[in-house]
């Protein structure tokens, strides 16, 4: 089984966006050395604590700083954009970095309602047209519009020798069926869903129609995981992520991922056990985390596991991925 990384480019409290983005580059470089299959970076807009609003720009920088690891967007939020422009951008990346580019597309807003309005005059209309936009994007990437189509005479140039690999990302039956109908690989975001992902993935596999370069279903499962030398250390690291997400859900956005010390004080002051309700998170020592990943791979029948890790310290984040790689990829 393959392991990969999803990076949301978190900003640690007391750090700048520039430091967060440089840490993302360093994470991609480390992932390559550790043996991870691919590194994806996410798109978010004016969300406190997350730095990357333009994956395509970051990928050009990361591609130049790495050599062989696959890199991609997880995901480009297609309702905001015209498919032709996205195809041009990722064909250009695939031309610069042959055989290394993934194009994940999703339909989440990636930010507040106000940010969605600033990005698009009608985001909801873009969501409604997502199946059409996804189909057009794939035709541009494959260069296979019918002769009668108005776009048949234009090319999303430059045309790379090895095109970007398209993925549809989601957390619902609708996204799974869209991937199946279009014959693309499918990435299920279990880390942000309480739905029965195993059943959704089963439906994708059942309905998959081989088209283009992919002749059989291909599934990636994204999970949250935090690993440390001991389970107690991993729980301490997780406090920062748990507090940040709680405040975000309350609309009390923290301008960065809080420190362990501040997180401990918060939960002590309100006399709350942050783990009383089991979070959607795998955490523990390397052996326990590896065992959980193996179980979830079997349960979901995933071809690949992608891990997202949010902690305060960039070094602790890198170490978490390193410990998992040493245990799981050895």
What are the boundaries of each domain within the chain? 2-230+280-328
Fill in the DSSP letter of residue 303. S
Predicted confidence band of residue 330 (pLDDT cuts 50, 70, 90): low
Instruction: Give the dihedral of Cα atoms 190, 193, 199, 201; nearest 10 deg.
Output: -40
- If 0-12 CB within 10 Å is exposed, 13-18 middle and 19+ buried, where does residue 306 land? buried
* Mean of pLDDT values over 199-220: 94
Nearest to 307 by CA among 62, 70, 39, 29: 39
* Mean of pLDDT values over 258-285: 91
Q: Please check the confidence at residue 253 and state whether its pLDDT lies above 70.
A: no
- Pick from 130-134, 253-257, 262-266, 303-307: least confident: 253-257
* Mean of pLDDT values over 18-43: 98
β partners of residue 18: none
Please state the φ and ψ torsions of residue 50, each to the nearest 5 degrees: -125, 135
Tokens of 30: 């480390």
Please give the model's pTM, rounded to 2 decimal places: 0.96
Q: Which CATH architecture has domain 2-230+280-328?
A: Alpha-Beta Barrel (3.20)
Name every residue whose Cβ is closer than 8 Å to that of residue 260 and which is 6 or more positions away in sequence. Answer: 236, 237, 239, 240, 312
* Mean of pLDDT values over 25-53: 97
Nearest to 165 by CA among 142, 146, 149: 142
């Amino acid at each position: 089984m393959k392991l990969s990384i999803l990076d949301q480019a978190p900003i640690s409290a007391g750090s700048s966006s520039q430091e967060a983005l440089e840490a993302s580059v360093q994470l991609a470089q480390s992932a390559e050395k550790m043996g991870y299959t691919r590194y994806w970076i996410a798109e978010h807009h004016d969300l406190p604590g997350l730095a990357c609003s333009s994956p395509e720009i970051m990928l050009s920088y990361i591609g130049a700083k790495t050599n062989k690891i696959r890199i991609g967007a997880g995901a480009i939020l297609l309702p905001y954009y015209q498919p032709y422009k996205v195809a041009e951008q990722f064909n250009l990346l695939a031309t610069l970095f042959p055989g290394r580019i993934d194009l994940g597309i999703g339909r989440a807003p990636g930010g507040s309602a106000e940010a969605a309005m600033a990005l698009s005059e009608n985001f909801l209309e873009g969501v409604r047209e997502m199946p059409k936009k996804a189909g057009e994007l794939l035709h541009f990437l494959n260069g296979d519009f019918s002769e009668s189509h108005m776009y048949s005479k234009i090319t999303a140039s430059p045309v790379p020798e090895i095109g970007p690999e398209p993925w549809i990302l989601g957390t619902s039956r609708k996204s799974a069926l869209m991937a199946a109908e279009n014959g693309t690989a499918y990435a299920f975001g279990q880390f942000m869903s309480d739905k029965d992902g195993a059943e959704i993935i089963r439906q994708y596999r059942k309905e998959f129609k081989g088209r283009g370069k992919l002749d059989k279903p291909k599934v990636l499962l994204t999970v949250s995981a935090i690993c440390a030398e001991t389970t107690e250390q991993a729980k301490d690291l997780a406090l920062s992520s748990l507090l940040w997400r709680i405040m975000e859900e309350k609309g009390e956005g923290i301008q960065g991922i809080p420190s362990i010390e501040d997180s401990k004080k918060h939960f002590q002051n309100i006399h709350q056990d942050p783990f009383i309700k089991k979070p959607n998170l795998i955490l523990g020592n390397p052996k326990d985390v590896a065992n959980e990943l193996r179980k979830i791979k079997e349960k979901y029948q995933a071809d690949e596991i992608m891990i997202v890790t949010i902690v305060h310290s960039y070094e602790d984040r890198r170490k978490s991925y390193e410990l998992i790689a040493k245990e799981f990829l050895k």
